[in-house]
Chains A and B, each alone.
Chain A
Amino acid sequence: MEHTNKSDVLRQGVIVFIFLAVLTALEFFVAVEIGSTVLLAMIAFVKVGLVFYYYMHIYRLNVQDEDLDRHSYQYKLGTSRIGLWLFLLSDAFIFGGLFVSRFNLLGLGPLPLSSDSQFTALTITSVLLLSSFFMNRAEVSMEHGDRKGFIFGISLTILLGLVFLAGVITVEWPSAINAGVTPSSNAAGAVFFIMTGMHAFHVLTGVIFLSIVLRNGLRGLYSPEKHWAVESATTYWHFVDVVWLFFYPALYLIGKLI
């Protein structure tokens, strides 16, 4: 609604996606060639900033709608946004606690994973990144009344989310276990499984949430003016992505690779 021209907004989504992809490649390069934790942290923060602004629209929290009728949809939308962001803030403390645990227990060293894991991790990270891109397209399409684009975008997002889940559970976990990193083997295994597990649980809830939105979207319950369910599912999905932006380097890239 801030941008009236749909193609401009879509182009913006593409540019942001390219930035994120380049930064992810850069991240991997930094991990392999330089091994600087500080640089990795900086890149992660830049990526989070991009997602917060362009995909999660954090600026929408700052609205001047004092004069609106308190019972109007617009006013309640503002309240709902604050509620959702407060929930995300609260949820972030769980992930923050896990993040702190990882560094407390393992220091700045790498996890004892096999090199296969690097490939899997980069693949599923790309999948999640791609899903965020389509999620954004779905939301923009909804805002501009393009129902087909919305259905296409959200279906693809759900599909990519499922691919991510399958990647974690059926490829990454067995490969870690083969490398001797099991939940009960040592602290590294415990950290690895609780971090990936907690994140996967959030991806799963996100997929469920998106499926409900897709079903109701197919029945035509949302309009360009009233689609809070779509917006909240989108924001939640991007938040889960943001968590991974930190977890990916923390689990795979920190500590000089190879």
Chain B
Amino acid sequence: MKKFFTSALMRGLFWQLIGWIVGALFVTGVRVLMGLNPFVTGQYFFTEPAWVFGGLVGAISYVASTGAMTDWFKWAKGEEVPEHREDPPGWEKYLNVSLDHKVIGVQYTVTALFLLCVGGLFALIFRTELAHSGLQFLTLQEYNTFMSLHGIVMIVGILLGVAGLMNYLVPMLIGAQDMAFPRLNAFSYWVAPPAAVLLLSTLLFGGFDTGWTGYPPLSERAPLGMQMFFLGVAVAGWASILGGLNLLASVLRMRAKGMTPFRMPIFVWAAIATSLISTTATQLIGLSFQMVMFQRLFGMGFFDSEKGGNPILFQHLFWFYSHPAVYVFVLPGLGIISELMPVFARKPLFGYRFVAMSSLGIALVGFLVWAHHMFVSGMNPYLRIPFMFSTLLVAVPTGVKFFSWVSTLWKGKIEAPTPMLFVIGGVVVFLLGGLSGPPNATVATDLHLQNTYWIVGHFHDTMFGGYIFPFFAAIYYWFPKVTGRRMNEALGKIHFWLMMPSFLTLTLLMMRVGLLGMRRRVADYDPALGFDNYHLIMTIAAYLIAISILIFLYNLIVSVTHGEVATGNVWNSRSPEWQVPSPMPVHNYDQPFEVIGEPYDYGLPGSVYIKFEDKKSKGH
């Protein structure tokens, strides 16, 4: 227990609190010297600039106190640091700064699961409120805060989950010992927990009622919680930016011998496409939020039309990241689907090159579609048409993926253990999400669908199909690689068969009430609309999903220590990481391997993907 309380995680929390107070006191002191009012008589004691500056200092204190930056300080002082640092055995390494990409990957994934559960809990709270028309137990402000927090906590959770998958898998898949910059990798992870603390702290500062989009002018007037939200997203953004940068450098420089671009595992292609977006576009959401933050703090009138500002500009800057962001979420998920499907269909992946290029295609077209969120915003109407066409263009590379998946399954010897169930489930749900997309991209129909539950249903289908289902598939699939044990198959199947129908019920009903005129993001609806029964069923479905997640968590925790031992090639995969025993050794591969064949030639006799270099020949 002592080891838990002295871990970097807990130490960071302590110092974050201290830093927060010190920062707030500093600004308060400056205000005294400037002759400004040092405190507000309202409920939050310190002034808004004091809280915001304190929040920033607190986040930096967290990262500094964990030791994630210690090696850089040593470099600045001109001291030598060892290339690798060995982790202590046991569970403590997961709570402390580690340079091992596998440990960091697990850290990311566990943090992501935690945040996804928190975000899900928020959803359950306001879903319960919605089960019946009229306000039951939440005030409007509370409803809005839970609704907004559900959005952003889920988004940060998914981003961390994406980083977890990419961190754990990519170095193993390309045959590297670690990422290109292990210290930067550790740093990227350790900025995430303080960001999560900042986001959750909004609850203590009156919440915020803008939804996760934070549009001004509403975000200009929202309670203090708004600022903590902006700060939290800006800090979390750095995890995404630096993680993406690291991954790109790793893939460019650390691939095994013979692994030409078109012999890389397909997930690596997806990771590249994702990282290209997250490295670059993420800056724009940070910037747009920073501008609103400054507008609140210093009265800078970027988005204030009284001062000649333009609120639409915010939406442009915001969606320039936030639309590609959904591709950051789904591309790795779709990569997992393409990665696992050949393993369980025992057939080569159909159209490997096209699938690889489709990931890049989605990422690049994704940069050109942002204004389709703004058809009713009041922007120049002539912009609608080019953005409509660029958005519809996304369907082409996405269609390529579906074509590949269906053709891979065609005449395959399909096995369906839990990971494959989630892969198929992901394809089905993502298909629904995909098909409900073009009506939103088409201006004529979007003018009616905008801001209805139809959009909510569409969005949740794409997120679950494109990310959550594949994420579960990946966890079930690579769990033996991490722990050397398997997760319980029966519980996994219950998880799937409970979640899948509940989820479809939920989102299809969302789309139905949306088409009938149910507005999104509202706490209440008119009973005369006749939606009460639909909402009740949706709430029940949401609870069933929650139960299935609890089953999953139970399975996950128990299997770490009590799962069936599985150290070999459990899924009979051709991928390099399964050719060495589980759990993965500390430095991945004792012997480097050389790629001598195609990655997905399942079922073709005599085909080989990789060959390990001979141990003896290396000694001589």
Q: Which residues of A contact B (CB under 8 A)?
A: 70, 75, 78-79, 82-83, 86-87, 89-91, 93-94, 97-98, 100-101, 104-105, 183-191, 193-194, 212, 215-216, 219, 221, 229
Taking the closest CB of chain A, its distance from the CB of B75, in whole angstroms, is 8
Stretch from B32-40, B99-107, B279-287, B390-398 that touches the partner: B279-287
Kindly identify which residue among A186, A193, A215, A219 contacts B307, using a CB–CB cutoff of 8 Å.
Answer: A186
Q: Is the CB of B301 within 8 A of A187?
A: yes
On whether A190 and B302 interact (CB within 8 A), knowing A83-B246, A90-B241, the answer reads yes
Instruction: State whether the Cβ of B253 lies closer than 8 Å to any Cβ in chain A.
Output: yes
Q: Is the CB of A94 within 8 A of B287?
A: yes
Q: Is the CB of B241 within 8 A of A184?
A: no
On whether A89 and B279 interact (CB within 8 A), knowing A104-B313, A187-B308, the answer reads yes
Taking the closest CB of chain A, its distance from the CB of B147, in whole angstroms, is 28
Question: Which positions 275-301 of chain B face chain A at CB distance < 8 Å?
Answer: 279-284, 286-288, 291, 294-295, 298-301
Question: Which positions 489-545 of chain B face chain A at CB distance < 8 Å?
Answer: none
Instruction: State whether the Cβ of B309 lies closer than 8 Å to any Cβ in chain A.
Output: yes
For B316, the chain A residues whose CB sits under 8 A away are: 100, 104
Q: Is the CB of B283 within 8 A of A185?
A: no
For B298, the chain A residues whose CB sits under 8 A away are: 183-184
On whether A183 and B300 interact (CB within 8 A), knowing A83-B246, A90-B283, the answer reads yes
Q: Is the CB of A82 within 8 A of B249?
A: yes
On whether A83 and B309 interact (CB within 8 A), knowing A70-B254, A97-B283, the answer reads no
CA–CA, A29 to B286, complex, Å?
37
Q: Which 9 A-B pairs have CB atoms at the shortest separation, nearest pair first?
A: A184-B299, A190-B300, A187-B308, A93-B283, A97-B287, A79-B253, A86-B245, A216-B78, A187-B309
Q: Is the CB of A105 within 8 A of B302?
A: yes
Q: Is the CB of A184 within 8 A of B288?
A: no
> Known contacts A90-B279, A190-B295, A194-B300; can you find 16 more A-B pairs with CB under 8 A?
A75-B253, A82-B180, A86-B279, A90-B245, A90-B282, A93-B280, A93-B287, A94-B283, A94-B287, A101-B302, A104-B313, A105-B309, A184-B301, A190-B294, A194-B291, A194-B302
Q: Is the CB of A187 within 8 A of B302?
A: yes
CA–CA, A215 to B77, complex, Å?
9
CA–CA, A83 to B179, complex, Å?
12
For B280, the chain A residues whose CB sits under 8 A away are: 89-90, 93
For A229, the chain B residues whose CB sits under 8 A away are: 75
Taking the closest CB of chain B, its distance from the CB of A60, in whole angstroms, is 14
Q: Is the CB of A83 within 8 A of B181?
A: yes
For A221, the chain B residues whose CB sits under 8 A away are: 78
Chain A contact surface mostly? helix
Task: Look across to chain B and name the residue whose beta carbon is closest to the beta carbon of A220.
Answer: B78
Question: Which positions 406-422 of chain B face chain A at CB distance < 8 Å?
Answer: none
Instruction: State whether the Cβ of B252 lies closer than 8 Å to any Cβ in chain A.
Output: yes
Kindly identify which residue among B248, B284, B287, B291 contacts A86, using a CB–CB cutoff of 8 Å.
Answer: B248
CA–CA, A216 to B79, complex, Å?
10
Task: Look across to chain A and name the residue whose beta carbon is closest to the beta carbon of B252.
Answer: A82
For A183, the chain B residues whose CB sits under 8 A away are: 294, 298-300
Task: Look across to chain A and name the residue whose beta carbon is closest to the beta carbon of B306.
Answer: A186
Instruction: State whether the Cβ of B1 lies closer than 8 Å to any Cβ in chain A.
Output: no
Task: Look across to chain B and name the residue whose beta carbon is closest to the beta carbon of A229.
Answer: B75
Chain B contact surface mostly? helix
Instruction: State whether the Cβ of B76 lies closer than 8 Å to any Cβ in chain A.
Output: yes
For B299, the chain A residues whose CB sits under 8 A away are: 183-184
For B249, the chain A residues whose CB sits under 8 A away are: 79, 82-83, 86
Taking the closest CB of chain B, its distance from the CB of A214, in whole angstroms, is 12
On whether A194 and B283 interact (CB within 8 A), knowing A86-B249, A184-B301, the answer reads no
Q: Is the CB of B317 within 8 A of A97?
A: yes
Taking the closest CB of chain B, its distance from the CB of A38, in whole angstroms, is 22
For A184, the chain B residues whose CB sits under 8 A away are: 298-301, 307
Taking the closest CB of chain A, its distance from the CB of B219, in whole angstroms, is 16
Taking the closest CB of chain B, its distance from the CB of A207, in whole angstroms, is 14
Q: List 24 A-B contacts (CB under 8 A).
A: A78-B253, A79-B180, A79-B252, A79-B253, A82-B252, A86-B245, A86-B248, A86-B249, A93-B284, A94-B283, A97-B283, A97-B288, A97-B320, A101-B291, A104-B310, A105-B309, A186-B308, A187-B309, A190-B307, A194-B291, A212-B76, A215-B78, A216-B76, A229-B75
Task: Look across to chain B and name the residue whose beta carbon is closest to the beta carbon of A216.
Answer: B78
For A191, the chain B residues whose CB sits under 8 A away are: 302
For B302, the chain A residues whose CB sits under 8 A away are: 101, 105, 187, 190-191, 194
Q: Is the CB of A193 within 8 A of B253?
A: no
For B184, the chain A residues whose CB sits under 8 A away are: 83
Max chain B Cβ within 10 angstroms of own Cβ: one of A75, A89, A90, A189: A90
For B254, the chain A residues whose CB sits under 8 A away are: 70, 79
CA–CA, A86 to B310, complex, Å?
31
On whether A93 and B281 interact (CB within 8 A), knowing A186-B308, A190-B307, the answer reads yes
CA–CA, A144 to B78, complex, Å?
21
Q: Is the CB of A101 within 8 A of B313?
A: yes
CA–CA, A98 to B246, complex, Å?
25
CA–CA, A100 to B288, complex, Å?
12
Max chain B Cβ within 10 angstroms of own Cβ: one of A82, A97, A215: A97
Taking the closest CB of chain A, its distance from the CB of B364, in whole angstroms, is 15
CA–CA, A183 to B298, complex, Å?
7
Task: Look across to chain A and name the residue whose beta carbon is closest to the beta carbon of B280.
Answer: A93
Taking the closest CB of chain A, its distance from the CB of B339, in whole angstroms, is 25
Taking the closest CB of chain A, its distance from the CB of B368, in whole angstroms, is 15
On whether A101 and B308 interact (CB within 8 A), knowing A184-B301, A194-B300, the answer reads no
Q: Is the CB of B253 within 8 A of A186?
A: no
Q: Is the CB of A219 within 8 A of B245?
A: no
CA–CA, A97 to B136, complex, Å?
44
Task: Look across to chain B and name the residue whose beta carbon is closest to the beta carbon of A70.
Answer: B254
CA–CA, A93 to B367, complex, Å?
13
CA–CA, A5 to B279, complex, Å?
38
On whether A98 and B287 interact (CB within 8 A), knowing A189-B300, A216-B78, the answer reads yes
Q: Is the CB of B286 within 8 A of A94?
A: yes
Task: Look across to chain B and name the residue whose beta carbon is closest to the beta carbon of A93.
Answer: B283
CA–CA, A105 to B280, complex, Å?
23
On whether A190 and B301 interact (CB within 8 A), knowing A216-B78, A219-B78, A221-B78, the answer reads yes
For A70, the chain B residues whose CB sits under 8 A away are: 254
For A212, the chain B residues whose CB sits under 8 A away are: 76
CA–CA, A87 to B299, complex, Å?
31
Taking the closest CB of chain B, its distance from the CB of A20, in whole angstroms, is 27
